[in-house]
């Protein structure tokens, strides 16, 4: 790509702006046209609203946790029930964040919007299934709200037996919710696999797919393979509570370690459900905003699949201290190291992509850079935890808390925000304030590190997780962490403000505001209802050589050498004569 003037003697290809009847946001009106829509883009937007609401709710709970931990004896919840309150709050925080926000965030909300458009398809393969996934998500969320209304939930998001079979809180409601959410996730994954397999237009070969699609594909594989096991685990847990089947409950000769095996067989792969789409997003963001072909396309693509498969081999690293056999422990520890290799491959490739690129420090790029930094810390500390000897010390301390927040917040959330800022103009047709966006990115980055970096120190000094009170020696670090949370909150609010303001006051977005080469930038912003009238011409998704900055109109355009089309007659529709 080159910035500046458009070479003369060339034709500018730009889809322009959609009319109100083309625009998927406005082509039909009324709440029912949204609630019963089969359009993947509208479903994506509904998901977006849903997951952001969940994020807001769980975020408030997180704020409560951190405020409570401001003082060693606990600052927010007082009285005899203080610890119970604390347990409920951190449990619901974790459960809502994991099941209602992070898992559906990128794949369901952004994926739904992007997958068909990036692929050049009209819709996902099963639009009704898609809508029903969304409603399953809503039902699952309602169950969680029900659990909250009933008697809360205090098992931690992991629902470990035997506590979960003996506590009085509403385990059944919450697990039913998670069960339903699991099916929502399965159907989304299934839909994407089929879409990517069978709905590719001519010319869209596997290796012309944007890396986001590869990542989504890998994620979907995990969703389809791992989530059912969560389903049966939760079902058995419910049965255990209702009629004491004695599989997990030691009181009836069950084995709680078996529960942990079942749970982590899903939940370790699930962490890759959370991070793989983020990898895909970052691959696209880095390449587009560095205006340079992605380095090692095939490596990144294959490493997504490798992660998806290897991710099934390491679940035991969550159970090193749970009473597994020594042999299993060692095997799982060794396997854990292998899974970090493909992740590292990706990081190196992103760095190599940026090298000698012409980087525009736009908001999405700021988030992408933050991601690389934060994910690297999160991933590397994962190796500390995967090492048997160190994990004996670090297990169930704040070190683990910091590790997974670095990958889930620093990784997934940050890339979710990056993706949101990157595709926002495409989704809603509005440009936001660049300054505001960058400011949000910087504040979030600082606030996040301030919150969670001290927790590594806390953990390695022995501060256990999931406690409502702590020794005074930890106070300073806890207070720093709480201060960081407030800063993080400010950053998120700035981001929200910037986005909402853009909807009201933002400028109209051009079709290609960043200079991307993937197919979604070839249709208008926002895309028309049908995405593409006819199957689009598919090129290399990371070839920026024919994309130029149009200084006059402040937009990127695709440029084609002038061509004369020889016959001027309109071609017959291809299969008109074979109609029966």
Partner 1 sequence: MSTIEAAAENAHDDHGHDHDHPSFLAHHFDTPEQQFDSGKLGIWLFLVTEILFFSGMFCAYAIFRMLRPDVFEGCSQFLNTKLGAINTGVLLFSSLTMAWSVRCSQVQQNRGLVGMLAATICCAMIFLGVKAIEYSHKWEMGLLPAGLYFYDPANPHPESHTNYLFYICLPFMILLGGVVAWLIASLVTRNTFHLKCAMPLSVAAACFFVGIGLGMVLESGDSEHGSEVAATAELETEISLIANSDDIALERLAGDAANSGAKSELNARMQQLETAGSSIVQDGEEISGAIVSVEENVMTQRKAGVFFSIYYCMTGVHAIHILVGIGFLVWLLIRAVREDFNPQYFGPVDYVGLYWHLVDLIWIYLFPLLYLIR
Partner 2 sequence: MSAHGESKDGYDFAHPIPVPMLLSVFFALVFLTIVTVAQASFDIGSLDILVVMVIATIKAALVMAFFMHMAYDKPFNVIIFLSSFGFVALFLIFTMSDSAQTSPAFEPVVEEVMETDQESTNVIAEESSATSE
Residue numbers of the site for Cu ion (CB under 5 A)?
268
Per partner kind, with CB cut-offs from 5 to 8 A, the member of partner 2, ligand HEM, Cu ion, none near residue 258 is: partner 2
User: Could you tell me the smallest distance in angstroms from the CB atom of residue 171 to partner 2?
Assistant: 23
Separation of alpha carbons 62 and 548, rounded Å: 45
SS3 content of the chain, % helix, strand, coil (to 5): 65, 5, 30
Sign of dihedral through CA atoms 73, 79, 81, 82? negative
What is the distance of C-alpha 161 from the center of its chain? 29
Provide the b/e sequence for 480-501 (b: ≥16 CB within 10 Å).
bbbbbbebbbebbebbeebbee
**76, two tokens:** 């927010």
User: Could you tell me the smallest distance in angstroms from the CB atom of residue 327 to partner 1?
Assistant: 16
The contact set with ligand HEM (CB under 6 A) reads 158, 271, 274-275, 317-318, 336, 339-340, 343, 379, 382-383, 385-386, 391, 394-395, 400, 403-404, 407-408, 411-412
Q: Which residues contact 548 (CB under 8 A, 6 or more apart)?
A: 1, 2, 3, 4, 5, 6, 7, 556, 557, 559
How many residues of this chain bind partner 1 (CB under 8 A)?
48
Q: Under the criterion CB under 8 A, does residue 520 sit at the interface with partner 1?
A: no
Write the binding mask 137 to 176 for partner 1: x where contact by CB under 8 A, - elsewhere: ----------------------------------------
User: Could you tell me the smallest distance in angstroms from the CB atom of residue 117 to partner 2?
Assistant: 21
Q: Under the criterion CB under 8 A, does residue 326 sit at the interface with partner 2?
A: yes
Q: Under the criterion CB under 8 A, does residue 328 sit at the interface with partner 2?
A: yes
Footprint (CB under 8 A) of partner 1, residues 70-129: 121-123, 125-129
| Cβ proximity of 320 and 260 under 8 Å | no
Per partner kind, with CB cut-offs from 5 to 8 A, the member of Cu ion, partner 2, partner 1, none near residue 328 is: partner 2
The piece of 75-83, 102-110, 239-247, 463-471 that touches partner 1 (CB under 8 A) is 239-247
Nearer to Cu ion, 208 or 268 (CB): 268
Per partner kind, with CB cut-offs from 5 to 8 A, the member of partner 2, partner 1, Cu ion, none near residue 323 is: partner 2
Nearest one of 108, 89, 238 to 177, comparing CA atoms:
238
Separation of alpha carbons 320 and 127, rounded Å: 43
How many residues of this chain bind partner 2 (CB under 8 A)?
26
Q: Which residues contact 380 (CB under 8 A, 6 or more apart)?
A: none
Using the structure block, give the residue that is written with the tokens 């595709």: 423
Q: Under the criterion CB under 8 A, does residue 205 sit at the interface with partner 1?
A: no
Separation of alpha carbons 205 and 191, rounded Å: 19
Q: Which residues contact 199 (CB under 8 A, 6 or more apart)?
A: 116, 119, 121, 122, 124, 125
Q: Which residues contact 151 (CB under 8 A, 6 or more apart)?
A: 168, 169, 170
User: Could you tell me the smallest distance in angstroms from the CB atom of residue 405 to ligand HEM?
Assistant: 8
Q: Under the criterion CB under 8 A, does residue 567 sit at the interface with partner 2?
A: no
| Cβ proximity of 62 and 92 under 8 Å | no
**403, two tokens:** 């590790």
Per partner kind, with CB cut-offs from 5 to 8 A, the member of partner 2, partner 1, ligand HEM, none near residue 408 is: ligand HEM
Nearer to ligand HEM, 357 or 386 (CB): 386
**120, two tokens:** 């050049």
Footprint (CB under 8 A) of partner 2, residues 273-312: 312
Per partner kind, with CB cut-offs from 5 to 8 A, the member of Cu ion, partner 1, partner 2, none near residue 31 is: none
DSSP state of 335: H
What is the SS3 assignment for 12-36?
A: EECCCCCCCCCECCCCCCCHHHHHC
Nearer to partner 1, 170 or 195 (CB): 195
Per partner kind, with CB cut-offs from 5 to 8 A, the member of Cu ion, partner 1, partner 2, none near residue 353 is: none
**323, two tokens:** 């009473």
Near partner 1 by CB under 8 A: residue from 246, 323, 325, 472: 246
Overall size of the chain counted in residues: 580
What is the distance of C-alpha 131 from the center of its chain? 19
In the complex, residue closest to ligand HEM by CB? 382
Near partner 2 by CB under 8 A: residue from 389, 504, 565, 574: 574
For 535-549, give the DSSP string.
Answer: PPPP--TT--TTEEE
Q: Under the criterion CB under 8 A, does residue 178 sit at the interface with partner 1?
A: no
Q: Under the criterion CB under 8 A, does residue 254 sit at the interface with partner 1?
A: yes
Q: Under the criterion CB under 8 A, does residue 446 sit at the interface with partner 1?
A: no
* Chain residues that interact with partner 1, rule: CB under 8 A: 121-123, 125-130, 132, 186, 190-191, 193-195, 197-199, 224-229, 231-233, 235-236, 239, 243-247, 252-255, 258, 262, 530, 533, 573, 575-576, 579
């Amino acid at each position: 790509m080159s910035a500046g003037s458009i070479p003369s003697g060339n034709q500018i290809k730009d889809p322009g702006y959609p009319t109100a009847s083309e625009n998927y946001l406005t082509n039909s009106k009324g709440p029912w046209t949204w609630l019963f829509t089969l359009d993947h883009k509208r479903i994506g937007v509904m998901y977006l609203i849903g997951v952001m609401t969940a994020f807001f709710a769980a975020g408030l709970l997180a704020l409560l946790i951190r405020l409570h931990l401001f003082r060693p004896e606990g600052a927010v919840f007082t009285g005899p029930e203080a610890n119970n309150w604390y347990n409920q709050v951190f449990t619901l925080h974790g459960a809502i964040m994991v099941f209602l926000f992070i898992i559906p965030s990128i794949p369901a909300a952004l994926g739904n919007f992007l997958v068909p458009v990036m692929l050049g398809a009209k819709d996902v393969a099963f639009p009704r299934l898609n809508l029903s996934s969304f409603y399953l998500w809503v039902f699952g969320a309602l169950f969680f709200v029900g659990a909250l209304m009933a008697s809360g939930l205090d098992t931690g998001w992991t629902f470990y037996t035997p506590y979960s079979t003996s506590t009085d809180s509403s385990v059944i409601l919450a697990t039913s919710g998670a069960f339903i959410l699991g099916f929502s996730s399965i159907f989304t994954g299934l839909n994407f696999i089929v879409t990517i397999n069978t709905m590719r237009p001519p010319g869209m070969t596997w290796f012309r797919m944007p890396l986001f699609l590869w990542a989504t594909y890998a994620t979907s594989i995990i969703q389809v393979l791992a989530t059912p096991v969560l389903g049966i685990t939760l079902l058995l847990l419910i049965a255990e509570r209702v009629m004491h089947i004695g599989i997990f409950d030691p009181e009836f000769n069950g084995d709680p370690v078996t529960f942990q095996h079942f749970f982590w067989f899903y939940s370790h792969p699930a962490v890759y459900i959370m991070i793989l789409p983020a990898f895909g997003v970052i691959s696209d963001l880095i390449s587009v905003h560095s205006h340079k072909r992605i380095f090692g396309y095939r490596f990144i693509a294959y490493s997504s699949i490798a992660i998806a498969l290897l991710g099934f081999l390491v679940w035991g690293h969550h159970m090193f201290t749970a009473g597994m056999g020594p042999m299993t422990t060692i095997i799982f520890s060794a396997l854990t190291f292998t899974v970090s290799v493909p992740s590292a491959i990706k990081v190196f490739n992103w760095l190599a992509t940026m090298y000698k690129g012409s980087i525009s420090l736009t908001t999405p790029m700021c988030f992408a850079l933050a991601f690389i930094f934060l994910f690297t810390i999160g991933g590397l500390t994962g190796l500390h935890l995967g090492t048997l000897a160190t994990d004996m010390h670090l297990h169930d301390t704040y070190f683990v808390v910091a590790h997974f927040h670095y990958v889930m917040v620093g990784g997934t959330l940050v890339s979710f925000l990056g993706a949101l800022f990157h595709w926002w103009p495409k989704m809603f047709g509005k440009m936001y304030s660049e300054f505001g966006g960058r400011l949000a990115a910087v504040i979030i980055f600082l606030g996040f590190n301030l919150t969670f970096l001290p927790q590594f120190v806390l953990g390695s000094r022995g501060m256990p997780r999931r406690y409502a009170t702590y020794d005074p020696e930890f106070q300073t670090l806890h207070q720093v962490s709480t201060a960081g949370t407030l800063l993080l909150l400010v950053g998120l609010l700035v981001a929200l403000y910037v986005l909402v303001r853009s909807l009201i006051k933002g400028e109209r977005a051009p079709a290609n505001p960043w200079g991307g080469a993937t197919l979604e930038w070839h249709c208008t912003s926002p895309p028309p209802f049908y995405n593409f009238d006819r199957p689009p011409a598919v090129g290399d998704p990371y070839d920026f050589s024919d994309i130029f900055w149009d200084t006059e109109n402040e937009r990127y355009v695709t440029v084609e050498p002038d061509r004369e089309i020889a016959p001027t007659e309109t071609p017959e529709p291809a299969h008109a004569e074979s109609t029966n």
